[in-house]
Every structure is written in C-alpha cells, then in structure tokens.
Amino acid sequence: MVQLAGRPSSNPDRSRLIRREILIGGTVQGVGFRPFVFRIAAEHGLTGWIFNSERGVTIEVEGAPDHIAAFQAELTGNPPPLAVITTVRTTDLEPVGYTSFDIVPSRSGETRTANVPSDAATCSDCRREIMAPDDRRFRYPFTNCTNCGPRFTIVQDIPYDRPQTTMAGFPMCPECGREYHDPLDRRFHAQPNACPVCGPAARLVDRAGKPVPGPGDAITQAAQLLRWGMIVGVKGLGGFHLACDASNQAAVAALRERKRRPHRPLAVMARDLQTVRRLCRVSPEAEQLLTSPAAPIVLLELLPGAPLAPGVAPGLDQLGVMLPYTPLHLLLLNEGPETLVMTSGNPSGLPLSIDEDDALARLGHIADAFLIHNRPIHIPCDDSVMAVSGGAPYFLRRSRGYVPAPVPVAKEPGSPAVLGVGGDMKNAFCLVKGEKAVISQHLGDMETEEARANWKRALDHLIRLTGIEPVLVSYDLHPGYHSGRLAADLPAERHIQVQHHHAHLAACMAENGLAGRAIGLVLDGTGYGTDGAIWGFEILAGDLAGFERVAHLAYSYLPGSEAAIRHPLQAMAGLVGAHLGDVGLVQLEPLLDREGHQQVEAARSLMRSRINCPQVGSAGRLFDAISALLGICRRQTYEGQAAIELGSFAMTGRAYPVVMTEGGELAVAPFLRPLLQDVLRGFDRRLVAGRFLSTVVEMAALGARRAREITGLADVCLSGGTFQSPWLVRATEERLLSDGFRVFRHRTVPPGDGGIALGQAMVARRRWQSGCV
C-alpha cells in the first residue's frame, strides 16, 4: 500500500468534516489516474484512499466540504491527458477519521469492464527528455510514461499490468523501478516503462537480417540511408512501415514499383507541424487531430508547389499526413529527411507484418534495410486516417490511437452481447454490450487466408480484453462474403443477416443517438440488395429493426460483375448501354483508344448474353463510369480511385437535369445524355466533372424529399463509402440543410465499410429485442 500522510485539515473539528465516495467510470486505468488523484488529494488536504475497481476507480475522500468541492472540480475538470471520464457518481457518508491518503492495491478480477487504453503518441514531457543531452533517456527510442506510449498493441491479457504485456521480458532496472513505484512520479505504474539500461533496443539490419556496419547507432544509420534515397522497413507501434524520403522522386518511384502500388496515394510523416504547413493547408481542426494523442493520418489539402515528390499522391489535390508518434519516429525524422513516405508494411491483401522474421521474408524484396527492435508487437494495428469537412472531423479508418476505446450507444435493457462481423472490404468488427460498442482495429480486405486468420486472432484478442462474449452474431446479406462464412462458423445462439445499406444507416443512427426512424442517404460502392442486385445509391427510411427502400438510382449493368471495379470502362459501357442503348455506345467511339474499344466490345457481348452481368445501382460504380467517360481514370488500382481522381479534377458547375420516376427511380438518361454530348462537343471536362458532382447532390436531395413526403421524416443520415469525399459530405449536407432537413453524419466510425459492423450489431440487437429474428 502506498501512503502519503495527509496535511491536517484546516479545521480538524470532526463535526465539520464530510466523507465522500466517488465512483468514476471510463478510461481511467493505465493513464496515470491514481497518482493524479493522490497528488490533488494531498494538495487539498484530504485523507482517504483510491483503488482501481471493476468499473473504473473508486475514491473515498474525507475533509472540509469546500476542500472536497475544490478537489472534485479539479478531478473532473483537469484529468490526465489520456483519461476519459464517462461517469461520476458520489455518495456522502459519515466521516471515519482517515489519517492519510492511500493507494490501495488493485483487487483481483477487476478491470473487466474498465477499458484497456489506446496507444498514445509521445507526450511533450517525454519528448523533452529524449532531446535533453543530460537526461538518462536522451535519444532513447522507447521512452514512455503514464501519459503516452504503447498500450493496445502490447497488451496480451487483462488486467493491464506489465506481466500481461510484451514488456514482461524486460525487468525494470532499479531506477525505472523507483519511478514505477513512486506515486508522485510521472511513471508511477507506467506498465511499459523502460530506459536504455533495462528496456528494448533498436537495431539496423540488411535484407538478410545481418547487422549493418557503420558509424553511429541504428537510428543515425537508418536516417543516413533514407537521406541517400533508400527504402527502410521500420518497425513501429502496431506493425512495420516502409519508409523513404518523400521529396525524392526516384526513391518514391522505386517504392511504388517494388510494392506494385502504381497510384494509391502514400501517407507522409512530417518532422513537425511547421513542415506540414509547407506541404498542406492546415485548419485548426486538422491541427488538433495531428497533435492529439491518437496522432492519426489526416487528409489535408495539398498546397501548389509543395516540396514533395510528384509520385507521392499522383493527380490528387489531397495528401495524408501524420506527425511522428513514437520516440523512434521522432529521432528518425529529426536526423533523416524532414518528410518520409510511411506506407504500411504489407503486400496487398495480406495483414501488416509485426515481427522481424515475417518482415524480412515478406518485405525483403522491397526494403533495402530494416530498422527493428526487440519489443514484441502483440497485435497488429494500422494507422488511423481522418478527414475534416466543414469543420467536423470524421474517420476514414478508425484504428491505432482509437482502438479499443468504446463508442457509447443507447442501452437496450436485457439485450445480450452482440458481434457484428463487418463486411469483406475495409473490415473492422464490432462487439456491443450494454452501452458500449467496441470496434476493432482496421483489418482490411478478407480476400486471403492470412487476412482471415489475422481476423480471427484479432477477434479472440478483443473478446479477451473486453470480456464481451457474443451471444448473437450478425453479418452481411451477401451470399459470397468471406465474413459471412466466418460468422457462420462462430458459436452463437443466433446468426442474423443484415442488409449492407441498412447496416450503414443503423451505424449512423446509433452513433448519433437516433432512437426512432430516420431517412438514410447511403452513397456507397457495392452492397448486396434484397432483390439480388448490387445496391449503393440508396434512399432508405427505417429504424434499427427494419427499413424500406424509398428511392434509388435506376439500375445499369455491371459487365464482368465486381471484377469490373478494376476496369471503369466496363462500368461506363454498362451505364451507357443500359440507359442510352446501342446509339449511346456507338457515340462513345471517338472517346476510346484501341484497348478501350476492345473493353467496351467485350462488355457489350456480356450485356447481350447477360452472363456475368448483374444489375447495379451504385454511386461508386456511377463515379467509376463517369470518371472513365471523362478519361480521368480507366484503370483502377485501388478502391475509390476513380471517384477520388474525379473529385480532384473537377471545378464547380451546375447540375444536369435530375428526374425521378413515380416508383422512386432516379433516372440516368436525363443527365447522362447531355453530359455525353458535352464531352463529345469538347467542352472543358473539368466543368463537366463538376456538373456531374452537382448532379449527384441534386439526385440525393430529390430522393430525400421523396422520403420526407412519404414518411414525414426530416432527419437524414449520410453514410456509405462515397461520403469519404470531404467535398461530397459538405455539399450534400448544405443542400439538405437548405431544404429544411436535419442532417446527421458519422463522427465515431467511418462512413465506409469500416463502420458497418456497428450497424450490423445494433440491428441484430434490436431485432432480438423485438422478437423478429
């Protein structure tokens, strides 16, 4: 038991004292909460005790009423940086005459309902120490404290204590041990506490795993290689990155070629905020995200003439940027180039590499050298990606720094624990129990065996950390989804299928606390519809239990089915063929080269035979088709490329005519015909692209108005992967607001498929509750 004698109260008269029990819930363990309370109790002359309890922390304080009030104000008003207080319950009791303030050891079996903290970027105190030549942690790449450092990625089991983390193999030296046990030290109970004497160390090795000889330590050497234009695999917090100098075009081109990633924009890590400002426009909201403990990649508007190799984000007006979030990154960026490409270290379709052997085997043909270390990563966790639109931040990928912090949802009394397994692309799953939804790290596409094995491991891990054992399992309606098969293999009382876009709507409703019915405007890539067609431009009306489809984009064909996603010309042929017929297809001729001509011909024969040619009404495929028509993107090498490039290319223009049929079909021909004519007449394609974007917004608004007329609802939820575009979110929101709607967007889960698991779980839970499963 740690004790500190309390300062005698200013009024020792027992009758004027009170004793108060304070129960605090939220993320309050492993974040320096107990030393903080210990310190402020002493400052306010209070006695009593604190311990980590099952639900958070329990405090009892005794002292003068005004001192306790001041203590409580500081407790809730100025908690440690990583603490998140969600509940405070107080009870006043008879004083018992405590003489000291104690930190009582944790009770066994505690912390099941307390949250395991997320990984946090290096705090300013630790930064100072790393940069101070007289500090014992000068240049130490694994410096951390209770306010920062690895958490989720090193925790193997709970309670969150050092022996249950990958730091178990590093016994603390006497000096680290002293810090760890001193309640007034910043490293009191900092589980990953370490120093150069006792902690992990970095090494630089070549592709064969042999040490690279040279002057200086591993980081200095790696920095030198990067300055020379080489590619270095860097072991970070949640996995390996592939790094190279972001201002060196030859290095960037080599990385792209070796990783076989021709176009997909690469994320950049910049030395500091000043460096970011030389590359991009940084709004106050974006600055806050960049410098937050989560330190995500933030999508920013690129400045013209930014000092960056053109191959980093080819053809785009946006760049994903992050700041160094571990001491190792800080040192590397300080000594190496001021901007590094930092792309995830995984061959496409495969999970992130987390250990050295795996990285050498799988990335050895890409990296020239590897900067590694001996602190094991227990579970892979990709970087998070965020965007800001109209001053509001939202997730494109919710992962490192946010997982496993729960998302609050409304309670369904008596409902069992639920798992939503997510979809097959950009997968994340979600565990829901009571008022807590815990969403997994980004697990990517489910195409490969390795990805699915990684998924199962991540599920076991999160079930262990949260103690949420799912009784219901929910999954997508798509009969061919791998995630559906994984769901079916899991033991559960009931397996419940949820339509893809209903899950999108439900996720947006749940995180905005909408309990009744709402309109869902879901602009998406592909999702399996209840009629077997591919949906994705949906105006729905519904609640968590069910939905009706009020309006949607008129169907086209998708020759080649979902494989056509890689070839936007096929989507274009399907769109033109379905709505303008052979006449339209013939008109396309002058816009095509030989290869394009062949692709369109092949698509035509698929359409004639109706083989491998499903019906599709999706915003994603509509963007693909128009992007191909305008000659912006005719080969798609990453998901959403055609739409992103179209967005970057467009200037503003007014909408083409939008028309809706009696039955709620948004017609294509009325806007496609004049659009095609404009292209054939050689009008400025940037303007045509802009007019198309406005058309999409107008169609969405028309659909929403129909939904309001039919249902009387005025709350609209915006969801679906197409809303990853900051421009489209803002434009649609403004348009709907001017039409008198209340508009809700995603704030805590991504609008794309990374967010559907939450919706699946919420729908399954409600259906179970209302007995309709």
Interface residues toward Fe ion, by CB under 5 A: 524, 527, 753
d(CA 216, CA 502): 57
Q: How many residues bind Zn ion (CB under 5 A)?
A: 10
- Among the residues of 271-393, which ranges form H helices? 273-279, 284-290, 327-335, 356-363
Residue closer to Fe ion, measured from CB, 412 or 524: 524
3-class secondary structure per residue, 711-745: HCCCEEEEECHHHHCHHHHHHHHHHHHHCCCEEEC
Pairing label, strands 665-666, 100-103: unpaired
126 binds, among Zn ion, Fe ion, none (CB under 5 to 8 A by kind): Zn ion
Q: Smallest distance, Å, CB 331 to Zn ion? A: 15
Which of the choices Zn ion, Fe ion, none does residue 693 contact, using the CB cut-off of 5 to 8 A by kind? none
**Closer residue to Zn ion in complex, CB, 145/403:** 145
β-strands 665-666, 547-553: how paired? Answer: parallel
- Rounded CA gap, 18 and 93, in Å? 7
CA angle, 327 as apex, 326 and 330 as ends, to 5°? 90
Is the CB of 242 or the CB of 700 nearer to Fe ion? 700
Are β-strands 518-528 and 534-542 bridged in parallel, bridged antiparallel, or unpaired?
antiparallel
Q: Which does 524 bind (CB under 5 to 8 A by kind): Fe ion, Zn ion, none?
A: Fe ion
- Measure CA of the first residue to CA of the last residue in the chain; give whole Å: 52
Closer CB to Zn ion, residue 82 or residue 396? 82
By the rule CB under 5 A, 326 interacts with Zn ion? no
Instruction: Name the binder of 197 from Zn ion, Fe ion, none, CB < 5-8 A by kind.
Output: Zn ion
Q: Are 455 and 419 in contact (CB under 8 A)?
A: no
Question: Which does residue 119 bind out of Zn ion, Fe ion, none, counting CB within 5 to 8 angstroms by kind?
Answer: none
- Cα torsion at 624, 627, 633, 634 (round to 10°)? 70
By CB under 5 A, the residues from 155 to 184 that bind Zn ion are 173, 176
Shortest reach from residue 198's CB to Zn ion, in Å? 3
In the complex, the smallest distance separating the C-beta of residue 220 from Zn ion, rounded to whole angstroms, is: 22
Query: 């097959």: which residue's tokens?
Result: 424
* Enclosing H/E stretch for 18: strand 18-27
Cβ 262 to Zn ion shortest distance, Å: 40
Q: Output DSSP code: residue 429.
A: -
Identify what 147 binds: Fe ion, Zn ion, none; CB under 5 to 8 Å per kind: Zn ion
Write the binding mask 89 to 128 for Zn ion: x where contact by CB under 5 A, - elsewhere: ----------------------------------x--x--
Binding partner at 231 among Zn ion, Fe ion, none, C-beta below 5 to 8 Å by kind: none
What angle is formed at CA 580 by the lines to CA 578 and CA 581, rounded to 5 degrees? 65
201 near Zn ion, judged by CB under 5 A: no
Binding partner selected for residue 176 from Fe ion, Zn ion, none, CB under the kind-specific 5 to 8 Å limit: Zn ion
Angle subtended at Cα 742 by Cα 730 and Cα 543, rounded to the nearest 5 degrees: 110
Q: Show the tokens assigned to 722.
A: 């197409």
Q: 115, 147, 318, 556: which one contacts Zn ion (CB under 5 A)?
A: 147
| Helices 568-587 & 669-680 angle (0-180, nearest 10) | 80
d(CA 103, CA 48): 9
With CB cut-offs between 5 and 8 Å by kind, which of Fe ion, Zn ion, none does residue 722 bind?
none
User: Which H helix or E strand runs over 615?
Assistant: strand 615-618
The amino acid at residue 618 is: S
CA angle 453, 456, 459 (to 5 degrees): 150
Please, which residue, 645 or 753, has the CB nearer to Fe ion?
753
Q: Which is nearer to Zn ion, 32 or 617 (CB)?
A: 32
Nearer to Zn ion, 83 or 242 (CB): 83
CB of 419 to Fe ion, least distance (A): 19
Applying CB under 5 A, does 145 fall inside the site for Zn ion?
yes
In one-letter notation, the amino acid at residue 527 is G
Q: How far is the CB of 186 from Zn ion (least distance, A)?
A: 7
Shortest Å distance, C-beta 490 to Fe ion = 22
By CB under 5 A, is residue 195 in contact with Zn ion? yes
Shortest distance in whole angstroms from residue 751 CB to Fe ion: 9
One-letter amino acid at 556 equals: S
Closest by CA position to 218, among listed 241, 244, 200, 193 = 200
**Closest separation in Å from C-beta 115 to Zn ion:** 19
C-beta closer to Zn ion: residue 30 or 752: 30
Q: Parallel, antiparallel, or unpaired for β 436-439 and 56-63?
A: unpaired
Is residue 198 at the binding interface for Zn ion, with CB under 5 A as the rule?
yes
Amino acid at 463: I
Q: Which stretch binds Zn ion (CB under 5 A): 26-34, 198-206, 531-539, 669-677?
A: 198-206
Which residue lies nearer to Fe ion by CB, 129 or 639? Answer: 639
Shortest reach from residue 725's CB to Fe ion, in Å: 14
The smaller minimum CB distance to Zn ion, of residues 68 and 123, is found at: 123
CB-nearer residue toward Fe ion: 527 or 542: 527
What is the enclosing helix (H) or strand (E) of 561? none
Task: Identify which of residues 187 and 705 has a Cβ nearer to Zn ion in the complex.
Answer: 187
- Residue 318 or 499: the one with the smaller Cβ distance to Fe ion is 499
Amino acid of residue 269: M
Distance CA 520, CA 508 (A): 9
Instruction: Say if residues 539 and 702 touch (Cβ distance below 8 Å).
Output: no
User: Smallest distance, Å, CB 639 to Fe ion?
Assistant: 11
Tell me the window of 81-89, 187-195, 436-444, 519-527 that interacts with Zn ion (CB under 5 A). 187-195
Query: How many angstroms separate the Cα of 463 from the Cα of each of 111, 403, 600, 611?
Result: 14, 13, 49, 43
Stretch that binds Zn ion, among 138-146, 156-164, 380-388, 400-408 (CB under 5 A): 138-146
CB of 344 to Zn ion, least distance (A): 25
Identify which of 134, 124, 146 has the alpha carbon closest to the alpha carbon of residue 27.
Answer: 146
Q: Which does 753 bind (CB under 5 to 8 A by kind): Zn ion, Fe ion, none?
A: Fe ion
Q: Nearest to Fe ion by Cβ — which residue?
A: 524
Residue 698 binds which one of Zn ion, Fe ion, none, with CB within 5 to 8 A depending on kind?
A: none
Which of 596, 693, 588, 618 lies closest to 649 in space, CA to CA? 693
Say whether residue 696 binds Zn ion (CB under 5 A): no
* Among the listed residues 68, 148, 571, 731, the single contact to Zn ion using CB under 5 A: 148
The CA distance from 768 to 299, in Å, is 39
Which CB atom, from 50 or from 643, has the smaller least distance to Fe ion? 643
CB of 442 to Fe ion, least distance (A): 15
Q: Which of 5, 73, 93, 197 binds Zn ion (CB under 5 A)?
A: 197
Contact between residue 669 and residue 580 where contact means Cβ atoms under 8 Å apart:
yes
Cis peptide before 174 (omega within 30 of 0): no
Q: Which two tokens stand for residue 20?
A: 């108060």
191 lies in the binding site for Zn ion (CB under 5 A): no
For the record, the structure tokens of 750 come out as 């991504």
Q: 141 vs 620, which CB is nearer to Fe ion?
A: 620
- State the residues that interact with Zn ion by CB under 5 A: 123, 126, 145, 147-148, 173, 176, 195, 197-198
